[in-house]
Structure 1
Amino acid sequence: MSEWHPDDRRALRNILILLGSFFVIVQINRSAGGVLANYLGSHRGLSPTDIGTVMGAMFFASALVQLPTGLLFDRIGAKRTLVAMGLVAVCGIVLFAVAENTWALVTGRFMIGLGHGGVITAVYLIAMGWAPPDRVAQATASLVGIAGGIGGVMATAPLELLLSEVGLTTTFLVVAALTLAFTIVIQFTVRDGPASGGVRRDPETFAQSLAGLWEVIRMPELRRIYVMGFCFTAPFMTIGGLWAGPYFTDVQGLSHEQASLALLIMVVALHVGTFLYGPLERFAASRKRLILWAVALEVACLGVLAIWPAAPIYVAGPILFVFGCVAPFFVVLASHARGFVPPHRAGRAITTINLAGLTGVFVLQTATGGAIDWVQTTGGAAETGHRIVFGLVIAALTLSALAYAGQPEKPVER
């Protein structure tokens, strides 16, 4: 185990508390899709297509911004990038709050996605600057698990209550004010690492930075990790973030209120898993085997539901809870990737994994949506459509894991 100076430990704890508070606000924007969809439909009269465009704009922007932010992380540092992009997000939240038409709403959400697309990577890199290598994943997972869980819960019933009481404009102007306040505090209190150390960056020109990005993307040592990155978030976002609601109502026969509670439990499971991956990564003998076991559990859970989609809720519910717990293995995959790149290019490597993951969300959600549409137009049963959804996610997980299984644990010494 690496030595960790008590002053650095205390400094990182204080930084993580601040970044965690900021991440709660970020997570409200990320997790508010279900509540906002209902509000925009009932109060603004948006069509399902318009709602989908508004909600999807943030994730599209988050994918688009991954590689540019990777350059910024390695060139100007995690804190400066986080602050600069945070100001973009503030502008987006304000625009979303005051928007009077669909395209203003879309533009606002797009700017929020640009501004918040690199938050988790920034947290990871700041933790990397302060903590020993064997503690980075635990620190990051603890923050994302606890703060993300709080933000995810606040984006459900509390947000719905606030919208019904004061409306969208006031609600999101408050969110914008809180985001701005935390961004300012981060600017004046957070550093990328101790004054005597931290992550050191080479004085690269912009052309050299671009060349370094292309080099990281092309690294043979990372290709299998990028393939696995395709499934670090897509399976849960496809099941828990898109089709679990219709599954609970159409196949399980739950009411909308009961389905909302079931979805909330899945969100809790996701953040419980995120929190647990920190200590698991620290003590696991092999990061690769830890991820492969997680994928095997995901496949087993979805396999049961693909074979038996109409399983009673007391069977399907716990299965989906376990699926949610094992799904968020990003911090372990990021730690595995970090061992193959120098510290001054870690940001580019991690944001490339993020790009693969967000691309996976788009591909899987689009493919499963097409499958559901096909079943409905051909008059098939609802459980048939969800059986295909589970099968497509299983296929993506299996193919990614088969490619990743050949990944070395560590760089080969030459």
Structure 2
Amino acid sequence: MNAGIFLLGLAYVLSQFFRVFLAVLAPVLERDVGATPDDLAFASGMWFLAFAAMQIPVGWALDTVGPRRTAGWLLLAGGCGGAAVFALATSPAHIDIAMALIGVGCSPVLMASYYIFARDHPPAQFAVLASLMVGLGSVGNLVASYPMALAEETIGWRASLWALGGVSACVAFGTLVLVKDPIRIIGETKGSLAELFRLRALWFIFPLIGVSYAISIAVRGLWIGPYLAGVFGADTATIGRATLIMGLAMIAGTLAYGPLDKALRSRKWMIAGGSFAALIAAVVLIIIPSQSAGLSIAMMCAIGFFGATYPVIMAHGRSFLPPHLIGRGVTMLNLFSIGGVGLLQFLSGNVFSSAVPAATTSDPFVAVFTLFAMSLAVGLVIYLFSSDSPN
């Protein structure tokens, strides 16, 4: 952990924060700018789709100009600029624009660190290093819960966004100064997307990485707030505490999968088992969505814990990548992951709005949970045909 990696870790803290903080602000944004739950689902989807769309150019930039400038300049322009637009928002459309800009700014930070890990460290260390980075970044998940709710109640959400823009600028400048690009190998073969997609082993990994992260981050990043408020009458503070608990579960899961990757013989079946457990928790939410707030929060925590497979799925995919395709390869895996979240967020907003009005307050949320569970089930079935990789 040198200073450059630490700065990239702080940048990833911001990335994790920005992808989930809308859940806590849902009630106040509806009051102040008229943003309904399906509006926020669209805005959240804009963050993820903008993030995903940047992965191909980010992959090219990592292989061409290096992680230092790629991460630093994009975070400065997108992260800082998007936070400023959000702070000035007066309509849901402004929030859409702000979230898209922030998605662009956050798009390179994790991949920049993964690129450095893949180039400067042995392949066997990748899963542990990747899990530690995600665990560090998940602090942003926690800050976006109760602390964000507290900041909104004390200084207001607009002042909070201005402060976040300032923090983003500081981290971006630090990244430009302190991150060290890996040494390039003279005469190294240049890879292409066509060559990447000729790696058949990745075909069975893309669908699961496209949906596995989606269910946990969509619930934590957006739907936990409207769900608890609409079904159980939870206020902002209660939602903040619930998102904090789920955030802790997601961190615990991430940190658990890293050591398990070293201890277990099969990476594939570890990932499949965790995904199946997350699927069972989602099914419980579908069957008994309004029995008690405690049970629902417990099931969402189970989704967060068992669904924290992202770093080890990335390690599974990375194990099939030759050195000259690392930049494009890890960013393409990330494109499927983040793009899947964005697509499902858009779909979830449409599913929710189409289920309103409903016989009970829980029915629209059951429709959303069903969408996520079915997507995860399809991805898991396809993944079962993948090739295993040595841990």
Normalization by structure 2: what TM-score? 0.87
Which secondary structure does the structure 2 equivalent of 1:84 belong to?
A: helix
- Is 2:388 the counterpart of 1:409? yes
Superposed CA offset, 1:142-200 (max 9, x none) = 23213322x2222234334444554555433332332222222222222234xxxx674
Task: Give 1:324 shift.
Answer: 0.9
Which secondary structure does the structure 2 equivalent of 1:239 belong to?
A: helix
Task: Give 1:375 shift.
Answer: 3.4
Q: 1:16 touches 1:143 (CA, 8 Å); kept in 2?
A: no
Residues 1:94 and 1:214: Cα distance change in structure 2 (over 3 Å): farther
Q: How does 1:5-404 map to 2 (within 5 A)?
A: 12-44=1-33, 51=40, 53-89=42-78, 90-98=80-88, 104-149=94-139, 151-168=140-157, 170-193=159-182, 200=185, 212-252=192-232, 254-255=234-235, 257-377=237-357, 379-404=358-383
The higher radius of gyration belongs to 1
Normalization by structure 1: what TM-score? 0.82
Bigger Cα displacement from structure 2, 112-121 vs 298-307: 298-307
Over the residues paired in the alignment, what is the CA RMSD in angstroms? 2.9
Task: Give 1:259 shift.
Answer: 3.6
Task: Give 1:281 shift.
Answer: 1.8
Q: 1:129 touches 1:199 (CA, 8 Å); kept in 2?
A: no
Amino acid at match of 1:116: C
Distance 2:33 2:370 in 1: 36
Task: Give 1:388 shift.
Answer: 3.6
Amino acid at match of 1:61: A
Distance 1:314 1:100 in 2: 35
Distance 2:34 2:365 in 1: 29
Task: Give 1:254 shift.
Answer: 4.5
Residues 1:200 and 1:98: Cα distance change in structure 2 (over 3 Å): farther
Which secondary structure does the structure 1 equivalent of 2:205 belong to?
A: helix
Distance 1:99 1:258 in 2: 25
Distance 2:135 2:289 in 1: 29
Which secondary structure does the structure 2 equivalent of 1:285 belong to?
A: coil
Bigger Cα displacement from structure 2, 345-354 vs 33-42: 33-42
Amino acid at match of 2:371: L
Superposed CA offset, 1:237-257 (max 9, x none) = 333333333433444564554
Distance 2:354 2:35 in 1: 24
Which secondary structure does the structure 1 equivalent of 2:211 belong to?
A: coil
Residues 1:79 and 1:237: Cα distance change in structure 2 (over 3 Å): same
Bigger Cα displacement from structure 2, 163-172 vs 282-291: 163-172
Unmatched runs of 5 consecutive residues or more in structure 2: none
Q: 1:121 touches 1:351 (CA, 8 Å); kept in 2?
A: yes
Distance 1:370 1:169 in 2: 28
Superposed CA offset, 1:240-284 (max 9, x none) = 333333433444564554343223211221122122222122222
Q: 1:217 touches 1:352 (CA, 8 Å); kept in 2?
A: no
Amino acid at match of 1:118: P
Distance 1:99 1:375 in 2: 28
Distance 2:289 2:207 in 1: 28
Residues 1:351 and 1:109: Cα distance change in structure 2 (over 3 Å): same
Residues 1:99 and 1:316: Cα distance change in structure 2 (over 3 Å): closer
Bigger Cα displacement from structure 2, 108-117 vs 315-324: 315-324
Superposed CA offset, 1:76-100 (max 9, x none) = 2222311232222233333444556
Count of aligned pairs between the two proteins: 389
Amino acid at match of 1:83: G
Task: Give 1:111 shift.
Answer: 1.8
Residues 1:202 and 1:288: Cα distance change in structure 2 (over 3 Å): farther
Residues 1:27 and 1:394: Cα distance change in structure 2 (over 3 Å): closer
Question: Identity of paired residues, percent?
Answer: 27
Task: Give 1:391 shift.
Answer: 3.1
Which secondary structure does the structure 2 equivalent of 1:73 belong to?
A: helix
Distance 1:54 1:253 in 2: 24
Q: 2:213 touches 2:308 (CA, 8 Å); kept in 1?
A: yes
Superposed CA offset, 1:332-390 (max 9, x none) = 1111111211122122122222222233223433444444334333x433344444433
Distance 2:282 2:236 in 1: 23
Q: 2:131 touches 2:257 (CA, 8 Å); kept in 1?
A: yes
Amino acid at match of 2:166: A
